[in-house]
Amino acid sequence: MSTQDQQTPPTLDPIRLPLTGSRLIEASAGTGKTFTIALLYVRLVLGPRDEADAESFPRALTPPEILVVTFTNAATRELRDRIRARLVEAAEAF
């Protein structure tokens, strides 16, 4: 086994993850994928924190501009519900 095979993959930080380009989030069950995807979605809707925020998308996006894909109907329902809940929380907070 090589040293590279033994290395632990980097931890995903949804607050600092750059939001440009495509991202694949792949992990075992119960690791927080749905939570992370919902947080990234809210970041896209809120837009950059300020003009120097290079990690956010250059402008706020609307829901029809954001594509989120998952593999089962149950996962889709859970993700949709979680995203809606996070958007409601963000609307109340901001």
Domains of the chain: which residue ranges? 14-93
> What tokens appear for 10 in the block?
């980097």
* DSSP-derived secondary structure letter, 19: -
pTM beyond 0.75: the answer is yes
For residues 44 and 23, the answer to whether their CB atoms sit within 8 Å is: no
CA end-to-end distance (rounded Å), the chain: 50
Over residues 4-60, the pLDDT tens digits come to: 557 777 788 888 888 887 877 788 888 888 898 999 999 999 999 888 888 888 999
Residues with Cβ within 8 Å of residue 43, at least 6 apart in sequence: 14, 15, 19, 56, 57
Q: Look at the chain and count its residues.
A: 94
